[in-house]
A and B are shown apart, each in its own frame.
Chain A
Amino acid sequence: MPDSALTEGERRFLLALNRRGVRFLVVGMSGALIQGARGATEDIDLWFERTSHPGIGEAAKEVGGVWISGMFGMRPPALGGDVLRDRFDVVLLAQGLRSFDEEYAESVTFDVEGVPLRILPLARILTSKRAAGRPKDLAQIPALEEAILAASEGSAKT
């Protein structure tokens, strides 16, 4: 088992986004895990303010990754390549959430292995999971509720 959450390529990419002023949020279960919820996910979901921001492609290029901002064939915007691999998912439809600006304004910042990340708060992730309503989203709700209540009891560290 690797001893880092992020690969070096992923870490450098996220730092490059921050350096270029690209606004994005970590949403979904990866954001919940960072805030202490128990569970598992295969992806790190990124919600960009706008996928047309040139800084995304520049950051990907800087680390040797691939970014294709438009829809290409059957697939959504592509973020990956040999260095970045396939763990980043670009979220285009944030179900149950308000505008990016509104959610960003209430986001929380966590340092993940030296990378400051803006993250959707647990309560908002819970809202989005309820709105999405797929079996895998609904299955994650108890863990989110536990984390929200345990954190409200003053037990969380950031």
Chain B
Amino acid sequence: VDEASELSEANRLWLVADEAIWARSHEIVRRHPDLDVSGVYHTLKNFQRSPGERLRRGLAHARLGPHRR
């Protein structure tokens, strides 16, 4: 079964865009092998968000995390 063929148009577009970010992440890691591809992927996803959204997510993650000051 082709899983992608069952997707809605919106989800298909999301998948195509997401695949492009993964491809870009691998491309960067090929040039900088010390980096973690998953870390680069999440960084590139962050770059697509507004500065306020980036900060909001980081502050929210700290509140949910196990290591408090």
Contact = CB atoms under 8 A, between A and B. Distances in A.
A26 to B, nearest CB: 9
B33 to A, nearest CB: 11
Contact of A33 (B54, B67, B69): B54
Contacts of A143: 39, 43
A158 interface: yes
A40 B58 contact: yes
Contacts of B49: 36
Contact of B58 (A3, A4, A29): A29
Interface residues of B, number: 33
A5 B53 CA distance: 7
A87 interface: yes
Which applies to chain B's interface (DSSP): helix, strand, loop or mixed?
helix
Contact of A149 (B32, B47, B51, B59): B32
Interface centre among B44, B49, B65 (most CB of A within 10 A): B44
Contacts of A39: 58, 61
Contacts of B42: 38
Given A5-B55, A30-B58, A146 B35 contact: yes
A35 B35 CA distance: 18
Which applies to chain A's interface (DSSP): helix, strand, loop or mixed?
loop
A29 to B, nearest CB: 7
Interface residues of A, number: 38
Contact of B60 (A1, A36, A111, A156): A1
B56 A4 contact: yes
A39 B67 CA distance: 13
A3 B68 contact: no
Interface string A23-42: 00000011001111111111
Interface of A: 1-6, 29-30, 33-42, 44, 87, 110-113, 136, 142-143, 145-147, 149-151, 153, 155-158
Given A34-B51, A112-B51, A150-B28, 5 more contacts: A33-B54, A36-B47, A42-B62, A146-B40, A150-B44
Interface of B: 24, 28, 31-32, 34-36, 39-40, 42-44, 46-49, 51-63, 65, 67-69
